[in-house]
Chain A
């Protein structure tokens, strides 16, 4: 039984390998934030084009429009993560994008080590090069859920984001007042805690090292802090990060894109911009990041 099971399993893998190119991509569905993160990272790692610009950040930068950024930009923006995960991917793959847009808001977020281990592990990378069946995008369950979607004709509500984008949350439309209030309380509770100065200093140092390395290799690093709800922007955590960033990366030596602090930026939950505002911010970011 054991031998037969293993041989049949290998046969199933082979069948899937040969069937995959013939399965319609329309039937595939990428559910969930975690999978979208892995898919984004894998697509970037296995992307043959070496000179793609990159935007790194968290779910906040993930709201920026891929359509407006255009195909020359790849988004290494990870909900529940931060800019360092994207920066480490660039660093460890040895790719040197012409432009790297770096979101500064979530600097304190740790690198997603399990994801890096998954997408950068040499044997896994090789396996994914040999057969695309081992990539996140081609999981059989994506096909199964997509098929369900097609059969039911209902699953596509709300409309999914393009492959690779988080199509679950956060909602990029204004939330109802009760939810907004609860979300604001959660963010306020989190952001009112000043960061440990040692941890912040270590993060700033690492960011400086990476920016110096990329700049030496010919990349142009552009820093930006995305606007958040005005009642949250002045809390100890964002303030500490802002001050530390301004001290280490002064505007006369580093390229910054600034957003008017006096302007009100509508958000869905206090920290994520609503769709039209995110589009507007994307346009400004694109225009101001040009040399």
Chain B
């Protein structure tokens, strides 16, 4: 079910109306869980069984870690992580591996694996499950440095109920933000209508829907042409603008989704972590990953980078760790080698930047910051080509055409991309302005009114969220 569809709006309205009824106050978790299962099973009901299997793995293993024998804690933690990863590997990477090993001919094992549909959101809810298992295990260690709150109650049924909500919570189920267990479990308490922060709900939903429906869904009509061999027929200027537009689209699509998720969660009394913090303002790759898909990068840092040794084992090991984390982070996005290349590119960039920082110190000057920002933005944008064009030779072909094409400019396409990229630039500009003048709030309602009018009058044709495929 898409956040932009009518059935979804109806589902939210019904769930909201029931959720806050005084007589169902003690059933709030159940109401939200049922709504989440309906949301997830809308297109393909069979997927619910996979979600239930994933929930059960995490409920049983985390419960055993918390309540079971101390000597078996490590076993159950390991079991939880392995089973979670096995589920992800089977559905997400099984087809790629089987095809590589056995080919994709009709009747072959490779063909069988390739015919298994990729369950939507599996990467997101699997990572949440792993976070639960690891955090419960860490919290039970005597030298727990993380100081996690108590997440597993003594009652198994209560833990089952809580974990069903944690894993299936519909605002973040299919495309994040990835919530960590310690962020979510303490929030599972009765909610009241009076406690809703309407300002957060309104701002998040309006900006989120605007970014998705007006910016991303319209830009996709132009960036559709970043496709082989169509791009061979475009001019250098058009290709540059299209790539810029795709960079804006992918931001608007994913940041828009995350804001909608935050707004919806706030409607039901839950706080989701911020997932985007104006990433295209970054002056370094390190900063970019502190601002882009924050919930994934913090997950990778906490559960992969730090356990690998982080930056505590010398420079070379730090570079290797950065590369490994980004390579796996790339593969997390999809079972294709282009994603691995994309991750490796960012891994190398992070390692090179860290290496460079130990040698060169840039003076603090606005002009230098701008140049650094432009360089990071350009590299990040070029790397998005690997998301759009799955074949590496087509990526090279696109870059080659950007340098050598002699086709005439396609001005309507340029105008179209710039028209729908402008709101993203204004969104960043508004942020900078508010940063400079924090007390300026006059006339904000006019901006929101324009956004609402644009959603009503100028939404593009509905497109699936780009991150759904991950």
- Which residues of the other chain, A, contact B408 by a CB distance below 8 angstroms? 157-158
Interface residues of A in 140-158 (CB under 8 A from B): 140-141, 144-145, 148-149, 152, 154-158
- Which residues of the other chain, B, contact A33 by a CB distance below 8 angstroms? 221, 224
**A115 and B461 contacting across the interface, CB-CB below 8 Å:** yes
| CB closest chain-A residue, reference B455 | A9
Minimum CB–CB distance for B291 against chain A, Å: 27
Q: Could you list 25 A-B pairs, sorted by A, with CB under 8 Å? A: A1-B202, A2-B202, A7-B449, A8-B446, A9-B449, A9-B450, A9-B453, A11-B449, A12-B453, A31-B412, A32-B222, A32-B413, A32-B416, A33-B224, A34-B460, A115-B461, A133-B457, A139-B457, A145-B419, A148-B418, A149-B412, A155-B412, A157-B411, A167-B412, A186-B228
Interface residues of B in 397-431 (CB under 8 A from A): 408-416, 418-420
Minimum CB–CB distance for B9 against chain A, Å: 13
A107-126 Cβ-contact flags toward B at 8 Å (1 or 0): 00000001100100000000
- Which residues of the other chain, B, contact A283 by a CB distance below 8 angstroms? none
CA–CA, A115 and B463, complex, Å: 12
**A35 and B221 contacting across the interface, CB-CB below 8 Å:** yes
- Which residues of the other chain, B, contact A141 by a CB distance below 8 angstroms? 218, 419-420, 458
Chain A interface residues toward B at CB < 8 A: 1-2, 4-9, 11-13, 16, 29, 31-35, 38, 114-115, 118, 133-134, 139-141, 144-145, 148-149, 152, 154-158, 160, 167-169, 171, 175, 178-179, 182-183, 185-186
Q: Specify which of B199, B452, B458 is in contact with A9 (CB 8 Å cutoff).
A: B452
| CB closest chain-A residue, reference B420 | A141
CA–CA, A6 and B453, complex, Å: 9
- Which residues of the other chain, B, contact A9 by a CB distance below 8 angstroms? 448-450, 452-453, 456
Most chain A CB atoms below 10 A, which of B198, B224, B418: B224
Most chain B CB atoms below 10 A, which of A118, A182, A185: A182
Chain B interface residues toward A at CB < 8 A: 198-199, 202, 206, 218, 221-222, 224-225, 228-230, 232-233, 408-416, 418-420, 444-446, 448-450, 452-454, 456-458, 460-462
On whether A178 and B454 interact (CB within 8 A), knowing A31-B415, A34-B461, A158-B408, the answer reads no
On whether A6 and B452 interact (CB within 8 A), knowing A1-B199, A175-B233, A183-B229, the answer reads yes
| CB closest chain-A residue, reference B220 | A34
| CB closest chain-B residue, reference A115 | B461
Minimum CB–CB distance for B175 against chain A, Å: 19
Minimum CB–CB distance for B241 against chain A, Å: 13
Q: Specify which of B233, B412, B462 is in contact with A29 (CB 8 Å cutoff).
A: B412
- Which residues of the other chain, A, contact B202 by a CB distance below 8 angstroms? 1-2, 5
Minimum CB–CB distance for A175 against chain B, Å: 7
CA–CA, A115 and B461, complex, Å: 8
- Which residues of the other chain, A, contact B413 by a CB distance below 8 angstroms? 31-32, 168
| CB closest chain-B residue, reference A142 | B458
- Which residues of the other chain, A, contact B229 by a CB distance below 8 angstroms? 179, 182-183, 185-186
CA–CA, A42 and B28, complex, Å: 43
| CB closest chain-A residue, reference B413 | A168
On whether A182 and B449 interact (CB within 8 A), knowing A33-B221, A34-B461, A115-B461, the answer reads no
Minimum CB–CB distance for A37 against chain B, Å: 9
**A145 and B416 contacting across the interface, CB-CB below 8 Å:** yes
CA–CA, A195 and B449, complex, Å: 50
CA–CA, A5 and B202, complex, Å: 10
CA–CA, A84 and B409, complex, Å: 34
Q: Specify which of A16, A115, A139, A145 is in contact with B415 (CB 8 Å cutoff).
A: A145
CA–CA, A114 and B461, complex, Å: 8
CA–CA, A178 and B416, complex, Å: 27
Given contacts A6-B452, A9-B448, 13 further A-B pairs with CB under 8 A are A1-B444, A1-B448, A5-B446, A9-B450, A12-B449, A32-B416, A33-B221, A141-B419, A149-B415, A152-B415, A157-B411, A168-B225, A169-B225
**B461 and A16 contacting across the interface, CB-CB below 8 Å:** no
CA–CA, A76 and B340, complex, Å: 43
**B461 and A160 contacting across the interface, CB-CB below 8 Å:** no
CA–CA, A29 and B445, complex, Å: 30
**B419 and A169 contacting across the interface, CB-CB below 8 Å:** no
- Which residues of the other chain, A, contact B221 by a CB distance below 8 angstroms? 31-35
On whether A169 and B452 interact (CB within 8 A), knowing A38-B461, A141-B458, the answer reads no
- Which residues of the other chain, B, contact A11 by a CB distance below 8 angstroms? 449
CA–CA, A145 and B198, complex, Å: 35
On whether A5 and B449 interact (CB within 8 A), knowing A133-B457, A134-B457, A141-B420, the answer reads yes
On whether A114 and B415 interact (CB within 8 A), knowing A141-B420, A171-B233, A179-B232, the answer reads no
- Which residues of the other chain, A, contact B456 by a CB distance below 8 angstroms? 9, 13, 134
Q: Specify which of A16, A144, A157, A169 is in contact with B233 (CB 8 Å cutoff).
A: A169
- Which residues of the other chain, A, contact B458 by a CB distance below 8 angstroms? 139-141
Minimum CB–CB distance for A155 against chain B, Å: 4
CA–CA, A179 and B420, complex, Å: 29
**B452 and A5 contacting across the interface, CB-CB below 8 Å:** yes
Minimum CB–CB distance for B248 against chain A, Å: 15
CA–CA, A183 and B228, complex, Å: 9
